[in-house]
Each structure stands twice: as structure tokens, then as C-alpha cells.
A and B are shown apart, each in its own frame.
Chain A
């Protein structure tokens, strides 16, 4: 059973515009949420995280929003740049577990 879902396998955005990537989870015990960025043939790299006590975390062009009642988080990239083109994975984990659960990824293409 997929506990973390990314329902959009791909997204295309014009350079300079906003990219919004979405993620849904099912387990209300999750209290940490992360976004990873992955280029082809490379390991994922950590991008940004948020804990369940917050509803927003910002780091430069990247902002993650958490809606706990809807069990939904999103990653906003503003402005989008061609170098942002990659696969983005969201992940969720609970402080009583040993692992993070990953979504299936969203492939972002930023068009110059």
C-alpha cells in the first residue's frame, strides 16, 4: 500500500514561472516530510524538509507547504530555472519508525 503518493508523474513549466509539485500521504503519524531532487544516474539529494509542527518552510527559491488536515504537502519553486529540471521525490516518516516512505516522483521540466 502506497503511503506517500505523487499523482503527477510529470510537469512542464516555463522558465521564470512557478513550479508546484504535490504530494499526499495517508499515515497521520508521519511528522517529518522531505523533498529530494534527483538527476539521472545520480543519487537523490536532500532539498528541503518540514516538520509537522509547521505549515511552511522556506529556503531561497524553494518553499514547502504542509496541510496536515488534508494530509497534503507541496513544493513551490519560484522562479523556476532550467537547472531545476529533475525528478522530485517527496518522503514522509514518523519519529517512531525507522524509515522514510517515498512517493513515485514527479519529473519537472523547466523550458527555457
Chain B
């Protein structure tokens, strides 16, 4: 069966420090991978998605970047964190190819990032 792993669960980082969040998927090949953020009192905002190794689409210009070095690995990074980067970060995957499906996404358990 397919599983998605996301770590760490919580993270407290000072302003200006770097960030690296990792997400891995098991049990499937060539999934679509997504990074979402839920800021306090806000909905789910799509940050990046990837349809294959090295293919990254950015939805929102910001202080963050994403990389997909392997088929089932998706990394969210920042060189210098801002206070506004605080939030709940979610990785998700789907098997759809270029379109929506009734099965939607499977989300990871999330990372609570607090920038202080």
C-alpha cells in the first residue's frame, strides 16, 4: 500500500536560518507531489507541485524553493526564514496524470514550523 512520510513533525527556527523539510512516498511510482501551507486562520495554499524528477512548478512567489531529487522524494527549502514563513506545511501525492481524479490527494501528517 502507498504511504507518505513527512518530517519533522514540529520545528522552531530563528529568523534568517535555513530550512529543509523532507517528504517521501512509498508504494507508488512517478507520483505527482505537492507542498501546501496552512497559515493560521487560512486555508490550504499550494506552494509547489512536481510531476516528475527535477520538474517543479511554483504557484506563489516567496522565500521558499522546492526540489525533487528522486522520484519519490520532495524537499521544501529556504535559505533564510522569515517570520511570515510560520505555518503548517503539508506534503501530498496523487497518481493522476495531468488532471484531477475522484481520489484527490493523500496528505502527510504535516510539519508545524514556527519562526522566532
Known contacts A43-B109, A97-B100; decide if A89 and B43 are in contact (CB<8 Å). yes
Query: Is B87's CB within 8 Å of the partner chain A?
Result: no
Tally of B interface residues using CB under 8 Å: 31
Q: Which residues of A contact B6 (CB under 8 A)?
A: 43
* Interface residues on chain A, number (Cβ under 8 Å): 30
> How many contacts between A and B, using CB within 8 angstroms?
77
Contacts of A6 on B, CB cut-off 8 Å?
43
Query: Taking A42-B110, A43-B108, A49-B104 as contacts, is the C-beta distance between A102 and B43 under 8 angstroms?
Result: yes
Q: Report yes or no: A44 in contact with B44, Cβ–Cβ below 8 A.
A: yes
Q: A95 — which chain B residues lie within 8 A by C-beta?
A: 99-100
**Which of A28-36, A66-74, A76-84 makes up part of the contact surface?**
A28-36
A108 to B: closest C-beta gap in Å: 15
Q: How far is the CB of B86 from chain A (nearest CB, A)?
A: 14
- B100 to A43, Cβ gap below 8 A? no
A81 and B99 alpha carbons, distance in the complex (Å): 34
- Chain B's nearest CB lies how many Å from the CB of A101? 8
Q: Quick check: A46 and B103 within 8 Å, CB to CB?
A: yes
- 8 A-B pairs whose Cβ atoms sit less than 8 Å apart in the complex: A34-B102, A36-B104, A43-B108, A43-B109, A44-B44, A96-B98, A102-B43, A105-B43
